[in-house]
Amino acid sequence: AAGVIQSPRHLIKEKRETATLKCYPIPRHDTVYWYQQGPGQDPQFLISFYEKMQSDKGSIPDRFSAQQFSDYHSELNMSSLELGDSALYFCASSSPLGTEAFFGQGTRLTVV
């Protein structure tokens, strides 16, 4: 069965650079979520989209932005990267009326 696809899997950036993470949800899933998991931490909700509209917002820094496109894939744009942004970034998706979120394998971002 198709799963949530995230790219890239690994990313190394320098401070003050920008990064774009991509997420391709499971086919026919219309909701996408982004989570950030720092080293040794639990995942923290960043933002979610339903039918291409932002549906909820968590502790997402102003330096970050995200959107969901017409094909339901989503991109998380991160600017002015800081060392503290180093983390595993998960994307998850769920189906219409679904309550179960299926997670991708994550993008490991390292800021040096």
* Strand bridging mode 107-111 / 10-13: parallel
Smallest CA-to-CA distance from 51 within 34, 36, 71 is with: 71
User: Do 19 and 109 meet the contact criterion of CB atoms below 8 Å apart?
Assistant: yes
Measured at the CA of 93, the angle between CA 91 and CA 97, to 5 degrees, comes to: 155
Q: Applying CB under 8 A, what is the total number of residues that bind another protein?
A: 25
Q: Which is closer to another protein, CB of 62 or CB of 100?
A: 100
Binding string, residues 64-103; x marks residues near another protein by CB under 8 A: ------------------------x-x-x-x----xxxxx
Q: Which is closer to another protein, CB of 11 or CB of 79?
A: 11
58 forms part of the interface with another protein (CB under 8 A): yes
Binding string, residues 7-46; x marks residues near another protein by CB under 8 A: ------------------------x-x-x-----xxxxx-
How far apart (Å, rounded) are the C-alpha atoms in residues 83 and 74?
A: 24
Measured at the CA of 105, the angle between CA 99 and CA 108, to 5 degrees, comes to: 125
Q: Report which residue type is found at 26.
A: I
The site for another protein (CB under 8 A) is made up of 31, 33, 35, 41-45, 48, 50, 55-56, 58, 88, 90, 92, 94, 99-103, 105-106, 108
